[in-house]
Amino acid sequence: MAAFMDKDFLLDTATARHLYHDVAADLPIIDYHSHLQQGEIASRKKFRNVAELWLGGDHYKWRLMRSAGVTEDFITGNRSDEEKFRAFCKVLPHAIGNPIYHWSHLELRRIFGIDLLINEKNAGRIWEEANAKLAPMDTWSLLEQAKVEIACTTDDPADDLLQHQEIAKSALKTRVLPAYRPDKAMRINNPGFVDYLAHLGNVAGARVDSFASLIAALAARVTFFHQQGARISDHAVDVALPVVPATEQQLEALFQKRVAGNLLTDAELGAYVRGILTAMGRVYASHGWSMCLHIGAQRNNNTRMLGTLGADTGYDSISDMSCSAGLASMLDVLDSTDELPKTMLFCLNPNMNDVLSTMIGNFQGGGVTGKLQFGPAWWFNDHKTGNLEQFVTLANHGVLGTSVGMVTDSRSFASYPRHDYYRRLLCRQLGQWVDGGEYPADESALEQIVRDISYENAKRYFAL
């Protein structure tokens, strides 16, 4: 019987152990999609204790605690940090099979060098030892300790990126780059949409009073972001895209309907979102950017808690919406004029894995390795089963060796040991194929695959 999370954790073959320990373990990290706050990096934020580092804003852990019966005052409420930390430690042992159980122990070991089981009995000792080791640390040291070579934040088009400019001039070894996320322009039914148009127009230096002027303003901000080092855009696609695109006149009418104070129907919203994605896809292609589409989140399901805590607090889930026909049509429109940018397709619904992994094969080419990517296991799929299924599905339908690897998608500076988890699973899968006689024991080829997926491919693909 293997010891709990020993040095060969998840590595069940000799090939896997070699690939992980000798190749993957020490590779730098390219974190091409995160929700780290640029201000916390610029200011070299220190965390007052391990509870703030571990639990602050981490809706993964919040959901786990709620499911285990912890009351909200111990999660987002007014209980002390130590009380919240002890509540988490108390319930974590019940989360057998949950990746947070493994991630938390990896974080404890990698960041603090503490090899204790996280439970109620050890909570006090962990609290004291982790806080002592955290005291001299800040966001810079956490990034550098984790060997994060590049970290991309998530930034609104209207952001002035002044803190990014400050970081770029600093001595931080990690390169911190902006990534372009125009959610506020896409979510036309949101209450603040019209006010946002005025703000965007002020920043872009032009009045935004039409769909065409909105696209022009967004394109101008892409140019600005590009000058600051951005090479990636990111879009949440939470509505079904229509198969037949709206005309320019129809998109203009939808824009004016909303400006006049009327909300769009679901069908109209889908048409508007597709219009934004198509227009911006052309802009991204002209700059050589990659467009990431995060598809299939069903957000803010609990309206009571949305009103209490706001968005992104752990009340989202997987949507079962169908997206294939509209998505294919949109990609085809861009491809037909050779304006399809490098594109990554993520879907939160694992039932769509085969759909997306075959979709990317329709639009490959142009001499770009893996121009369309089937994104790694994301959010609710980022666990042992989800990662292994992503490897196998992509291998079945595409070229696994072209994958750009893991995405953290995290708000936490403590999340980087998840890369260790991902790399162990990758080496596990490759080792099983070798042991099963499905791939030769070609060390050179296998080592190159591991280096590429863990590090090299992302650096090349995103032109970072």
Show Cβ contacts of residue 108 under 8 Å, excluding neighbours closer than 6 positions: 114, 115, 116, 118, 126, 130
The token pair at 147 is 């060997």
Three-state SS at 279: helix
HEC string of 108-142 equals HHHHHCCCCCCCCCCHHHHHHHHHHHHCCCCHHHH
- Taken in order 45, 48, 51, 55, the sign of the CA dihedral is negative
* Predicted local confidence at residue 464, as pLDDT: 87
- Residue 418 backbone zone (phi > 0: left; psi -120 to 50: alpha; other: beta): alpha
- Confirm whether pTM is higher than 0.95: yes
Q: How far apart are the first and last CA of the chain?
A: 43
The H-assigned helical ranges of 205-314 are 211-227, 248-259, 266-287, 303-309
pLDDT in tens for each of the 464 residues of the chain? 789 999 999 999 999 999 999 999 999 999 999 999 999 999 999 999 999 999 998 999 999 999 999 999 999 999 999 999 999 999 999 999 999 999 999 999 999 999 999 999 999 999 999 999 999 999 999 999 999 999 999 999 999 999 999 999 999 999 999 999 999 999 999 999 999 999 999 999 999 999 999 999 999 999 999 999 999 999 999 999 999 999 999 999 999 999 999 999 999 999 999 999 999 999 999 999 999 999 999 999 999 999 999 999 999 999 999 889 999 999 999 999 999 999 999 989 999 999 999 999 999 998 999 999 999 999 999 999 999 999 999 999 999 999 999 999 988 999 999 999 999 999 999 999 999 999 999 999 999 999 999 999 999 999 98
Show Cβ contacts of residue 81 under 8 Å, excluding neighbours closer than 6 positions: 48, 49, 51, 52
* Predicted local confidence at residue 1, as pLDDT: 76
Place of tokens 């090899």: 115
Could you give the domains of the chain?
Answer: 14-46+153-461 (3.20.20.140), 47-137 (1.10.2020.10)
User: Phi/psi at 123 (nearest 5 deg)?
Assistant: -55, -45
* Predicted local confidence at residue 57, as pLDDT: 86
